[in-house]
Amino acid sequence: MIRFRHFAAAAILTLSSLSVFAQGEKNNWYFGKGAGIVFSEGTPTATSSRLFTEEGSATLSDKDGNLLLYTNGITVWNRNHKVMPNGNSLMGGKSSTQSALILPKPGSQTIYYIFTTDIQAQSNGLRYSVVDMSKDGGSGDIVTRNNFMIAPATEKLTAVRHSNGRDWWVIAHRWNSNGYMAYMVDAEGVATQPVMSMVGVVHGGPNSKAIGYLVPSPDGTRLAAALWNDDSSFEILKFDRSTGKVSDPIHLKGFKQAYGVAFSPDGSKLYGTTNNGQMNKAQIVQFDLRTGSADAIAKSATIIGTSGSPSIGALQLGPDGKIYVARKDNYYLGVINKPNAKGTASEYADNGFHLGKQKSDLGLPNFPQGLTRQSIK
């Protein structure tokens, strides 16, 4: 029986690993100062691109890992690394934390939405543009640009697959408010009014407090936000994939210049980046979400790595199951090699991945939760 159990466990692990690599929508990453990574069967290889950005970017590939498009929130490039027709002057900001997010339109094989956020709660706010991939010989064309949604808003922007497995919730945050906004995106288009959840701390004050990531857990039932400032913090919340409501905030205080957040693949750990406002004090902190209460989660905070870079930024879970860490103006990304493990057993490597001749900045590509549940042709 013991041998059989070990064989069954190995078989399950092998199948789960294959499933990770079977979907290629997140295989091409473009970010920083012309930097890029291509994941082939889960193996990362450094590459380069036309994209330059201080912070946010978004990329999207098809299910086989073939590049479709990418953007810094201002310019959109196609699969051939050429600017799309009408692909300039989007109203995101290259210095916005999550300047862009790309979603396929439910029920369509050719229409995609690019959502953008302005820098530090400025007047352009949250907007979306529409891409028709059937145009320009299948390389895509921007058919409408900069449709207004709301302003002012923070630099936070993410999306979660609806519980119906087809539609989306695009999630952002109002400025000078504790209001999380969840916009339904379905076969009819983008909702004009969001589901509002007045919950958690107010995101407001000096405009720099608009900085910081918002990300969902792998199953879409939780959100985590970084609130950047000298006395900044992290926020963990529950998300209802059926109703779009956000609830049950947990506020984790005392992490200066909190910027990036990411959940482990199994959802048991939360990671955040903090720069502490000091040279060579950039750190990655881990919270154990299985400890239960808000107080226990706060007390579980463990520094799992300190970077040689004065500033670190985004955290992003790769197709290989590792979490990558943006290091400003560096030829290396940090890598958390075993993010499901507790504490320093998660194995942070500061010089974890070499970017070749290109440099990282503070951002990594922004992806929605649940992207691979509906194949993209």
**Domain range for residue 290?**
24-373
- Quote the pLDDT of residue 372: 75
Ordered DSSP codes for 44-104: EEEEEEEEE-SS--EEEE-TTS-EEEEESSS-EEETTSSBPTT-S--S--TTSTT-EEEEE
Is residue 12 one of the residues assigned to a domain?
A: no
Cα–Cα distance measured from residue 227 to residue 203, given in angstroms and rounded to the nearest whole number: 8
CA distance 179 to 199: 6
Q: Which residues have a Cβ under 8 Å from the Cβ of 62 and sit 6 or more positions away?
A: 24, 25, 68, 376, 377
For residue 156, give every residue at least 6 positions away whose Cβ sits within 8 Å of its Cβ, in sequence order, or none.
97, 98, 117, 171, 172, 173, 203, 210, 212, 213, 214, 225
Q: How far apart are CA 377 and CA 365, in angstroms?
A: 21
Contacts of 365 by beta carbon, 8 Å cutoff, 6+ apart: 26, 29, 30, 31, 57, 58, 59, 70, 316
Cα 129 to the chain's mean position, in Å?
19
Instruction: Kindly state whether residue 181 falls inside one of the protein's structural domains.
Output: yes
Mean pLDDT of the chain: 92
CB atoms within 10 A of CB 44: 19
Pairwise CA distance, residues 57 & 286, whole Å? 25
Q: Mean pLDDT for each consecutive 10-residue tract of the chain (377 residues)?
A: 35 36 84 97 94 97 97 98 97 95 97 97 97 98 98 98 98 97 98 97 91 98 91 94 98 93 98 79 96 95 96 97 98 98 98 98 97 54
Q: Per the domain annotation, does 8 fall within a domain?
A: no
Which pLDDT belongs to residue 104? 97
How many beta carbons lie within 10 A of that of residue 355, not counting itself? 22
Nearest-angstrom CA–CA distance, 244 and 260: 23
pLDDT, position 187: 98
User: Would you state the pLDDT for residue 277?
Assistant: 62
Establish if 11 belongs to a structural domain.
no
pTM greater than the 0.85 cutoff: yes
Torsion-angle region of 287 (φ positive above 0: left; ψ -120 to 50: alpha; else: beta): beta
Separation CA 106–CA 85 (nearest Å): 23
Q: Report the CATH number at residue 48.
A: 2.120.10.30
Residue 16 counted as domain residue: no
Number of domains in the chain: 1
Residue 100 lies in a domain: yes
Lookup result for tokens 């995106």: 185
Contacts of 113 (CB under 8 A, 6+ apart): 102, 103, 104, 105, 128, 129, 130, 131, 185, 190
Q: Provide the token pair at 136.
A: 């320009």
- Domain presence at residue 4: no
Residue 19 lies in a domain: no
Helical (H) or strand (E) element with 332? strand 332-336
Beta bridge pairs of residue 166: none
pLDDT score recorded for residue 278: 58
What was the pLDDT predicted at 22? 45
What pLDDT is attached to residue 279? 57
